[in-house]
Structure 1
Amino acid sequence: MGHLNDLESHGQAVWLDFVDRKFLNEGGLVKLVKEDGVTGVTSNPSIFEKAMGHGTAYDESLAAFDKANPDASAMARYEHLAIEDIQNAADTLRPIYDRLNGKDGYVSLEVSPKLAEDTDGTIAEAARLWAAVDRPNLMIKIPGTPEGVPAIAASIAAGINVNVTLLFSIEAYKAVALAFVEGLEARVAKGQPIDRLASVASFFVSRIDSKIDDKIDAGVGGDEAKALKGKVAIANAKAAYAWYQDFIASDRWQKLAAKGAMPQRLLWASTGTKNPDYPDTLYIDTLIGADTVNTVPPKTLDAFRDHGTVAETLTQDIEGARKVLADAERLGLDLDGVTTLLVAEGVHSFIHSFDDLLGAIAAKHPAAA
């Protein structure tokens, strides 16, 4: 039986995939930091839509902002509220950031999902949000789309911490890992420091199994494929981590490490189990390893605290993981097609949540009453 704070002994950080004004104000994050060793927070448009679009926790702050800025857009009003929450969470996590010399203690804020295919727009918004929040333990979330890759490199080069989101394929992960390195190398070339720059690569897990399992249930791959249900996403993550281990041992990375660079940690996202037939701690139990982060929704965090299992699992049976991926390809499960579709669906889902969020905030404007 394991507990969340036992994960630290295996080099894994636990971040909370949740932000809410009431939760922050009532000391919920402080409690998780103190009792469970939580060292970071992630947000996204879906999380903010649930937090801001419902209830009254934000009404007082919004009313004060509206009084001072009667002509503000719904976007400006959202950003005002989001920045307050992000600053609050960052300040709560700041002692961790200071104690670990910038190795952890981060909170993430996402650029607009509508910029997922706009490199220049992403670069500009990342810089603007970084300045607006004004906390060294902020990470700006940038999607790992083809257009996002150069924005990641540019943001790192500008000294902005980056959380790369919506990664599903190993090839996409490799591209953003190299973009991180390119950003660091650009700073080195200008004589700028790189020892306090942090990044994570958010590799999504459960959604892959949901798509692959649906294919298997529909008959793709026949009876042989049934043995792969619930295994492909974990195998994919293990293969990504194996590449990471090889890369940080490379000469190219070691040159940066010698100048104080911190590795871009793999972060396991979408770790709440979608299939009720699977253990509710599946995507934590099986992905524990050094220099990684697991960002966990509250329900899954509670489950792991209660009955999670702590062991070094990420590096176990790598050959078995490679066989799972090879079998998935041989049986026509088309992991590449699935991961491409998931990126598009993820962007669309975040845009939909973002539009719902702005609509809910606009509806609370006095002029809209």
Structure 2
Amino acid sequence: MSEDAKIRIRDLYKIFGEDPQTALEAVKGGMGKPELLRETNHVLGLCDINVDIKDGLTTVIMGLSGSGKSTLIRHLNRLIEPTAGQVLVDGEDILEYGPSQLRDLRRRRMSMVFQKFALLPHRTVLENAALALAVSGVERGDYEKEANKWLDRVGLEGNANLYPHQLSGGMQQRVGIARALVSNSEIMLMDEAFSALDPLIRTDMQDLLVELQGELQKTVVFITHDLDEALKLADHLVILNEGVVVQQGEPQHILLHPADPYIEDFVSDINRARAQGALGDDARRRSLGQGRRRRDRPGSDARGRDQHLRRRHLQELPGHQGRRSGRHAEDEGPRQGAGADQGLRQRHPHEDERVRGGGAFHR
């Protein structure tokens, strides 16, 4: 495995149940996930995971719902404790950390962007973005300056004094990204960070991440069920199935040389020539830090840009007469109501297994 890895995952197992250590022996003896559940009433979450997450690059972990991808990312900051194995960050096994070391890891060295935004509703955009610095004891005058810098950078100029319910879904997720950047952590964990957004806003957020990563070169771990998203973002791609790493490597290599029928099925409908060109373009853009500039997009700020994309998408729908669509429109202004943060997802009538011609995993 690579010597320039920021995080090394070694022989990692996670078994859910009343007696995981006994179940672990059965798994090491060859028992699979279905048999383990049927015979012992234990659930195999992760099985013998060995992955290197390279410093300064984006590692995408992808798989079907129940494959273990979200379970895996939560081991990296010990939101979930493993049954066995090691998680090494800068050569230190974080499973040996005490409470103070673990707090320092989560506050200073790692940040996390969640699918459901996880903003505090009683705090302003600025206060949410500056949360890591505030709880670390930084003076308000100092953390306001840093928070405003990153809010401006992600396209939220002039929105610092608003509250989360006044923002669209895309804007709320921008706050989540700004919060991760304000903490100045070397590692960003992103668990299906864009899955709750409608398709057009989701594309815009992917472009923002590519642009920021090209400039900042943080170590990013990104979870997704969407193959198109994985191919766009990943420097290193890890594919899970039933808690096992099926294949990992460069996205282009996996696309052209699938190692398993499970992977072949999901890449079979991808236009390989087009995908290779897109992968090459994205790689060049990441290396040069030249993602599409946010301020060059339609609209003068994040709200105007998001609304422009929604309106354009609605106008292209067959039979659209200017009506609001519960499937494609999030809002026409500041958000109101607790349910408004549910973004859109393209869905297949057969259990979400694929969208866009077989190019996505469902959760």
How does the TM-score come out when normalised to structure 2? 0.34
Compare the two structures and name the one with the higher strand fraction. 2
How does the TM-score come out when normalised to structure 1? 0.33
Compare the two structures and name the one with the higher helix fraction. 1
